[in-house]
Amino acid sequence: DRWFAPLTAAAVLIPLALTVVAVILWGWIWLPIGILLTLLAVLIVLNLRSNKAMMNAAEGQPGAAAQIMESMRGDWRVTPAVSSTTQMDMVHLVIGRPGVILLAEGNPQRVRGLLGQEKRRLAKVIGSAPLHDYVIGQGEGELPIRKLRMTLMRMPRTLSPKDVNALDKRLKALTARPQMPKGAIPKNMRPARGAFRQSRGR
């Protein structure tokens, strides 16, 4: 990051210069305040540049939108890849105060079909909760991944925390996949001997 060193130097030198002026004019009481402001400025620069570097690395990577959502502050319930294809197209499910959010990554033509399927499936259980969907990308009508955090943080909070919990439980029940029990099948659950032959004979 070629801008990191110049911005860090500015974050150190400018507050220190102002601190020296303040100490000369109003006394030594401004020295600890100036040092704290300098540290704060350096942390802000570090946070901004590291976020930019992370977004540059995430752009175009499958599953990046879900990773960014999982790292966001706040009550965001993220289920990565609730729907996907073998070509690495995927739709992520996010539940939060703004409602239900679907984030699609991959080929725009294919993911819009996945989005339509998920919206029809979710509409049966979410009730009156808002449903939003975004296609992550650089094309027209798509949301650049570097704007994902800001876009979601600016969305109106229409659900209460209690509503979010209730919605999360309903959607987890919808997206839960039954698992086969491990080990041998109990004798009382095994089909009767010859049942397969009889069913095939029919």
**40, pLDDT greater than 90:** yes
Decide: pTM greater than 0.85: no
* Dihedral angle computed from the Cα positions of residues 14, 20, 25 and 28, in that order, rounded to the nearest 10 degrees: 130
Sequential DSSP letters for 50-109:
HHHHHHHHHTT-TTHHHHHHHHSSS--EEEEEEEE-TTS-EEEEEEETTEEEEEEES-HH
User: pLDDT tens across 62-79, in order?
Assistant: 778 888 888 888 889 998
**187, pLDDT greater than 80:** no
161-175 helix and 108-122 helix, angle to the nearest 10 degrees? 110
Share of the chain above pLDDT 90, in %: 23
* pLDDT score of 181: 47
**27, pLDDT greater than 80:** yes
**198, pLDDT greater than 60:** no
Helix (H), strand (E) at residue 25: helix 4-26
Q: How far, in Å, CA of 155 to CA of 91, rounded?
A: 20
User: pLDDT tens across 119-173, in order?
Assistant: 988 888 888 889 999 998 888 888 888 888 889 989 999 999 999 998 888 888 7
User: Which whole number is the average pLDDT over 30-49?
Assistant: 90
